[in-house]
Structure 1
Amino acid sequence: MIDFNNVELVGQSTPDPLRYAFARKAAPHSGGKSAPVPPPQVQSALQMALDSVPTQSGARCLYIHIPFCRVRCTYCNFFQYASSKTMIDDYFTALMVELKRKAAQPWTQAAPFQAVYIGGGTPTDLSAEQLRILGRAIHDHFPLTPDCELTLEGRINKFGNDKFESALAGGFNRFSFGVQSFDSKVRRAAKRLDDGDVVIKRIQELVAYNSAPIVIDLLFGLPYQTLDIWQSDLEGYLASGAHGVDLYQLIDMQGLPMHRMVEQGKLPMPADTPTKATMFERGVQFMATHHQRRLSCNHWAKDNRERSIYNSLAKTTAEVLPIGAGAGGNVGGLQMMQTRKMEDYIAAINADQYPVPMMMRAAPGGELTSYVKAAFDRGVVAKRTLNLIVNEDLFGRLMPLFQAWEKNGLVKLTEGYVTLTLAGQFWNVTLAQAMIRTIGMLNDASQSDHVAA
């Protein structure tokens, strides 16, 4: 029997579920179970997958990782290497070898890619010529859909017109910048470079090119970031003219520089969960007031130029081909994270091996897990889609969970849909994890009943 009074599954019964339904949000992503591939089989398993030509191919993306930053932000868990021209040049040489090798595989050439994302790290730390070469190599070696979205992520700092124009010449058609806050004190405390007015001015200059959508990230809950400063950050988005914005909450992770600096008294405590919930509420209201088009629980667009294809597809069953040290992806039912160690990465490329130290086989039901994650990211679960995936009335079996959520103010139930309330949107990852966990318990119960029978 499943306890649908368990607060870890259904939340607290409280008059203020936005702020107090759960104790805290612990992780930025939700996921299911998978089984490891024995290390001696990793190379052959991946090669077999890349040698295959799928009879049917769904959505697919390409992810390329650039693991360098000039400065480590205090909240960042992705920092790998300080930017160095020599190290970047050596890495870029190896990266291009891996890119061309993987592009030539039968799996890669079997179907076009809908989206490409260059992430990091700080991809804009590449030189102008490297950005142009990278973009052209993607176009020259990979099959892309005519409307393929090519995103370059990075910082405003030292991203001059030479780099922007070279990236455009290389074929990049979307740019995403981690602004986090326009307040200079908040930015300095987070180790962000440049004052806020410099950032706004530079975004305005890039938007004025009218050559590609410019998208920014804003982070709420940072040290020194009051509600008034958060309001100014939201207004800064409009003033910048950016085509889209992501509003992310700060997740407190042990072991990061920010945590140590707070413990040492060098930074004030970041916002608690109720305050971050208030910031989220204000952000949602602000976007509605200014008629921004909502693409997900956390992402808005000013106009139709911003599509956010990669971010949407990466949360579904789309396959993602990873390239670069620290890149993650999934191909042919294999989930992998490439080595983060630079020397190991370059050694693997020079040895004509895949730089993958460990790999997982997707657990049965991966399509279902992907749908749950994508549905909660969008803010609505559809009965018809859910039931089609499993070919049974799973929606009906989950109804006690949905009803408990509705009672606690997290969702609204209508004919065939579960729609997240504002509180549910804030806790969407927590709810997705709870649904995945509940489905697992339902399946375990069904198997036990079958064995007993």
Structure 2
Amino acid sequence: MLDIYKFDESILGANTPDPLRFAFVKKASPHAGGMATPIKPEQTVSLLNDLYSSEVSKNNKRCLYIHIPFCRVRCTFCNFFQNAASRKLVDDYFAALMAEIKLKASMPWTQSGTFHAVYIGGGTPTDLSPLQVELLGKAIRKHFPLATDCEITLEGRINRFSDEMFERALAGGFNRFSFGIQSFNTQVRRSAKRLDDREVVLERVSRLSQTDQAPIILDLLYGLPYQSLEVFEQDLKDYLATGAHGLDLYQLVVGGNAPMLNLVEKGRIPPPATSAEKASMYELGSEFMAQHHMRQLSVNHWARDNRERSQYNSLAKTYAEVLPIGCGAGGNMGGYGMMNHRTLDNYMSAVKSGDPVVAMMTKQHALEPIFAALKSGFDSGVLARYFLPSFHGVSTFDFFGPLFKEWQRKGLVEVEQNYVSLTLAGRFWAVSLAQACIQVLQLKHQEQNAPMSVAV
């Protein structure tokens, strides 16, 4: 049995009449995850060769992630900026990227399975030229074994996303487009270093959506400087007015060396919203989407109609294997996590010399299948007994019974015989709940596998 009383509020949540705003101190990270063991650099090459040469079941869910590490402007909230875009840098990188694509596609591991979702992320993938976008899409369709309903997403900015770019992307086979709008409000956008005014963004998104050639998905952040509840509500109304097919609502989490931190410290922009203020925004967003009968696909994603499925988001964040391609791309295969070189020079040199582009590998935790199922359940808003692998021969659902009941008492979940459903507060704190479960399992696993002491 799980003794929950050995844990503090970081696991159990706080005793508060307002769990939506105060169950936890703050969202610690964008995604939940378990511990991993670093692989020694001298073991990387042989291990990669074994993974790449292996053939696996076609039933395994897998995704392809391709990274474009360029941006013309660094957003103030961003902690992932890598390279300023220039035509020569982008062209040279694209040539190296195509070489890596052909190499990775030829591996037995790649050809023995089926890819259910492809995501071109960054950076700003739309800093590629229209022709390069088309060639990239065609290369993916030519070289990789894709599911018949494979979702192929191009991420980007509305800024400079021309009709030619859209048409060539469609010609290349892209069937989903995700735009990081963050906010429609011009003042909010200016403080975040977004380039276009509200009217420009509204007009462009509306035109793309009206073509009905592919789902147009928008990302909105909530909690940005100058983004009051009134401004955020107008952002939601603007999304509705564009006719876009889906919406992600992401809580602002600023860390590392993001420029926003320095700007706030110097008094040049107001601070971002507190956790309690962001909880109010999430409440407003959830109620707005329900009022307009948007279909909720996860705790932070809604769809206007059945064309939008958000396959990559639901698979890659949970239990699918992800093949990473490109500078700075991360993924996982066969129980190992991997990250490609993050510096452009190192990546380009590795491609030219024929060396592995993977800079770092880790061995995933032995309980990763359970972690993945937990992350998937919390992300969807419902944990199902049948979907959770057993933990040391015990039902994981039953093992967590005392914790689930404690969370129910605190207004975070509703417990049924075979399901745990997240309340509004639980959906807001879904990552914290998933991380709490993962931490408990790691601790219990460590205790059960610790060497027994022998009395002398």
- TM-score interval, normalised by the smaller of the two chains: over 0.9
CA shift for structure 1 position 26: 1.6
Counterpart of 2:306 in structure 1 is 304
The verdict on how the C-alpha distance between 1:452 and 1:316 changes in structure 2, with shifts beyond 3 A counting, is: farther
Per mean C-alpha deviation after superposition, the further-off stretch among 235-244 and 413-422 is: 413-422
Alignment of 1:287-366 (within 5 A): 287-366=289-368
Counterpart of 2:177 in structure 1 is 175
Aligned to 2:358, the other structure's residue is in SS state: coil
Counterpart of 2:139 in structure 1 is 137
Unaligned runs of 5+ in 1: none
- Using the alignment, how far apart are the partners of 1:68 and 1:218 within structure 2? 21
Counterpart of 2:189 in structure 1 is 187
- Using the alignment, how far apart are the partners of 2:393 and 2:309 within structure 1? 31
CA shift for structure 1 position 34: 1.3
CA shift for structure 1 position 392: 2.1
Alignment partner of 1:166 is 2:168? yes
Per mean C-alpha deviation after superposition, the further-off stretch among 405-414 and 394-403 is: 394-403
Q: Is the 8 A contact 1:4 1:400 kept in 2?
A: no
Indicate which of 235, 238, 243 corresponds to 1:236. Answer: 238
Q: Is the 8 A contact 2:390 2:396 kept in 1?
A: no
Counterpart of 2:73 in structure 1 is 71
The verdict on how the C-alpha distance between 1:111 and 1:389 changes in structure 2, with shifts beyond 3 A counting, is: farther
Residue by residue, what CA displacement relative to the aligned partner does 1:400-445 show, whole Å, maximum 9, x if unpaired?
1111111111111111111111111111101111011111223234
Aligned to 1:178, the other structure's residue is in SS state: strand
Counterpart of 2:434 in structure 1 is 432
TM-score computed with the length of structure 2 as normaliser? 0.97
Q: Is the 8 A contact 1:218 1:245 kept in 2?
A: yes
Identity %: 53
Equivalent position amino acid for 1:260 in 2: N
CA shift for structure 1 position 3: 2.7
- Using the alignment, how far apart are the partners of 1:157 and 1:424 within structure 2? 36
Indicate which of 367, 370, 373 corresponds to 2:372. Answer: 370
Q: Is the 8 A contact 2:412 2:426 kept in 1?
A: yes
Residue by residue, what CA displacement relative to the aligned partner does 1:160-211 show, whole Å, maximum 9, x if unpaired?
0001100000000000000000100000000001001111110111112211
- Using the alignment, how far apart are the partners of 1:330 and 1:254 within structure 2? 24
Counterpart of 1:62 in structure 2 is 64
CA shift for structure 1 position 348: 0.2
- Using the alignment, how far apart are the partners of 1:327 and 1:12 within structure 2? 37
Counterpart of 2:49 in structure 1 is 47
Counterpart of 2:423 in structure 1 is 421
CA shift for structure 1 position 391: 4.4
Q: Is the 8 A contact 2:58 2:112 kept in 1?
A: no
Q: Is the 8 A contact 1:54 1:107 kept in 2?
A: yes
Counterpart of 2:267 in structure 1 is 265
Alignment partner of 1:3 is 2:16? no
- Using the alignment, how far apart are the partners of 2:340 and 2:264 within structure 1? 32
Moved over 6 A (4+): 449-453
The verdict on how the C-alpha distance between 1:452 and 1:376 changes in structure 2, with shifts beyond 3 A counting, is: farther
Equivalent position amino acid for 1:301 in 2: A
Equivalent position amino acid for 1:252 in 2: V
Indicate which of 378, 381, 396 corresponds to 1:379. Answer: 381
Q: Is the 8 A contact 1:207 1:242 kept in 2?
A: yes
Residue by residue, what CA displacement relative to the aligned partner does 1:16-45 show, whole Å, maximum 9, x if unpaired?
010011111121111001111110111221
CA shift for structure 1 position 388: 4.8
Counterpart of 2:115 in structure 1 is 113
Indicate which of 245, 249, 252 corresponds to 1:250. Answer: 252
Alignment partner of 1:91 is 2:88? no
- Using the alignment, how far apart are the partners of 1:340 and 1:404 within structure 2? 42
Alignment partner of 1:32 is 2:59? no
Q: Is the 8 A contact 2:58 2:114 kept in 1?
A: no
Aligned to 1:101, the other structure's residue is in SS state: helix
- Using the alignment, how far apart are the partners of 1:100 and 1:189 within structure 2? 41
Q: Is the 8 A contact 1:4 1:401 kept in 2?
A: no
The verdict on how the C-alpha distance between 1:372 and 1:209 changes in structure 2, with shifts beyond 3 A counting, is: same
Equivalent position amino acid for 2:250 in 1: Y
CA shift for structure 1 position 352: 0.7
CA shift for structure 1 position 447: 3.8
CA shift for structure 1 position 255: 2.2
- Using the alignment, how far apart are the partners of 2:198 and 2:21 within structure 1? 29
TM-score computed with the length of structure 1 as normaliser? 0.97
Over aligned residues, Cα RMSD in angstroms?
A: 1.6
CA shift for structure 1 position 448: 5.4
Q: Is the 8 A contact 1:2 1:441 kept in 2?
A: no
Unaligned runs of 5+ in 2: none
The verdict on how the C-alpha distance between 1:333 and 1:205 changes in structure 2, with shifts beyond 3 A counting, is: same
Q: Is the 8 A contact 2:4 2:403 kept in 1?
A: no
CA shift for structure 1 position 254: 4.0
Q: Is the 8 A contact 1:367 1:389 kept in 2?
A: no
Alignment partner of 1:442 is 2:444? yes
Q: Is the 8 A contact 2:347 2:357 kept in 1?
A: yes
